[in-house]
């Protein structure tokens, strides 16, 4: 099994690293949070004093960081991790960031002969814990084949989207569409309820009809319809409004850079920005339904 360095142990990174341990890999972790490191130590990981110490001797380096500036800071420059790695190491950045930073890190890695993939994920905290994430990978074919070996311990759907940065583009497209069909689902359900329909019955009708979508099928946004959905648990995330707003901002950047007039995506971003402004950033993104209820 592989020697893995894992940098960034937040809500997603922590369970991902634990799944690698369960898969039999030797995992060394680093995070600024002592509590997060302690949790991984209890799960069987080694804890390093720094990111640089964590990557020593690693076959794979995996990072899960908040934003592009953090990824650039960790990997680039004379003190960055790329300068400390040999060509035998494969780098997998699973952060959701701007595509341009992923391309920049990928180019720097290629210049050093280091395999690099941006590999953002889809599925949320529940899938991270269950090891059923989807990975959208950007990089060359040889690095992808190496990546599959390790990503299989954390996910069940692993896609090669294209060259470096392509994973981020795929993630932006996916999450923009997710936001749009979640909002549409909320509007349809609220419209039905205000006209006397039972939201559970309406959901069943739409699931058997052309309106069927993921939000209806596994993440119903109407309270009480789906027992384990965040909507039935006070909109406890799940996938936070703050994260959806961030991802929609990245999607808007991709659209702008490529000249796409994505009006539905822009409206979705505006709605999630409103939710943030209302102090709901820590709630699940399906709580967009509450904006409609406020107009009742």
Query: 153 and 47 in one domain?
Result: yes
Determine phi and psi for 48, rounding to 5 degrees: -95, 155
Query: Residue-wise over 70-108: b if at least 16 C-beta within 10 A, else e?
Result: bbbebbbeeebbbebbeeebbbbbbbbbbbebbbbbbeb
Give yes or no: residues 149 and 174 share one domain: no
Same-domain pairing of 25 and 141: yes
Domain co-membership, 10 together with 131: yes
The answer to whether residues 232 and 275 touch, using CB atoms and an 8 Å cutoff, is no
SS (HEC) of 161-181: EECCCHHHHHHHHHHHHHHHH
Q: What is the mean pLDDT of the chain?
A: 96
23 and 74, same structural domain?
Answer: yes
Our count of domains for the chain comes to: 2
Residues 132 and 178 in one domain: no
Beta strands in 149-286 (DSSP E): 155-162
**Residues composing the chain:** 296
Is 171 marked active-site? yes
Tokens of 81: 């991790």
- The residue-averaged pLDDT of 279-295 equals 91
What are the two backbone dihedrals, phi and then psi, of residue 207, each rounded to the nearest 5 degrees?
-65, -25
CB 92 within 8 A of CB 60: yes
What average pLDDT does range 183-195 have in this prediction?
97
Tell me how far apart the alpha carbons of residues 156 and 123 are, in angstroms, rounded to a whole number. 11
Residues 240, 140, single domain; the answer is no
Full residue range of the structural domain in which residue 274 is found? 169-293
- Which position among 171, 228, 246, 295 bears the catalytic label? 171
pLDDT confidence bin for 295, thresholds 50/70/90: low
Of 164, 193, 220, which residue constitutes the final position of a domain?
164
Tokens of 202: 């309406």
Q: Could you tell me which residues are beta bridge partners of residue 6?
A: 29, 62
Do 208 and 271 sit in the same domain of this protein? yes
pTM for this entry: 0.92
Tens of pLDDT, residue by residue over 237-278, are 989 999 999 999 999 999 999 999 999 999 999 999 999 999
Q: What is the pLDDT of residues 23-78, one digit of tens each?
A: 999 999 999 999 999 999 999 999 999 999 999 999 999 999 999 999 999 999 99
Q: What is the pLDDT of residue 39?
A: 96
Residues 6+ apart with CB under 8 A from 68: 95, 97, 98, 100, 101, 102
Residues 6+ apart with CB under 8 A from 271: 183, 288, 291
Q: Do residue 128 and residue 234 come from a single domain?
A: no
Q: Provide the CATH number for the domain around residue 139.
A: 3.40.50.720
């Amino acid at each position: 099994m592989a020697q893995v360095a894992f940098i960034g142990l937040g809500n997603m990174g922590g369970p991902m690293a634990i799944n690698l341990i369960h898969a039999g890999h030797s995992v060394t972790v680093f995070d600024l949070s002592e509590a997060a490191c302690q949790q991984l130590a209890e799960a069987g990981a080694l804890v390093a004093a720094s990111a640089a110490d964590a990557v020593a001797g690693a076959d794979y380096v995996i990072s899960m960081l908040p934003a592009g500036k953090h990824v650039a800071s960790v990997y680039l420059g004379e003190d960055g991790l790329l300068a400390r790695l040999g060509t035998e190491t494969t780098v997998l950045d699973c952060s959701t960031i701007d595509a341009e930073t992923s391309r920049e890190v990928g180019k720097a890695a290629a210049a050093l002969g280091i395999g690099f993939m941006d590999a953002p994920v889809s599925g949320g905290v529940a899938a991270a814990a269950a090891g059923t994430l989807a990975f959208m990978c950007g990089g060359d074919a040889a690095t992808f084949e190496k990546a599959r070996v390790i990503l299989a311990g954390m996910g069940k759907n692993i896609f090669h989207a294209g060259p470096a940065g392509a994973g981020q583009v795929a993630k932006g497209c996916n999450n923009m569409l997710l936001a749009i069909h979640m909002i549409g689902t909320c509007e349809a359900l609220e419209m039905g309820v205000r006209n006397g329909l039972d939201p559970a019955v309406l959901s069943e009708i739409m699931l058997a009809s052309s309106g069927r979508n993921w939000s209806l099928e596994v993440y119903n946004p109407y309270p009480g319809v789906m027992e384990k959905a965040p909507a039935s648990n006070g909109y406890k995330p799940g996938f936070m409004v703050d994260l959806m707003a961030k991802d929609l901002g990245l999607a808007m950047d991709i659209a702008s850079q490529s000249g796409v007039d994505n009006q539905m995506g822009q409206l979705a971003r505006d709605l999630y920005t409103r939710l943030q402004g209302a102090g709901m950033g820590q709630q699940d993104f399906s709580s967009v339904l509450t904006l409609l209820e406020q107009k009742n």
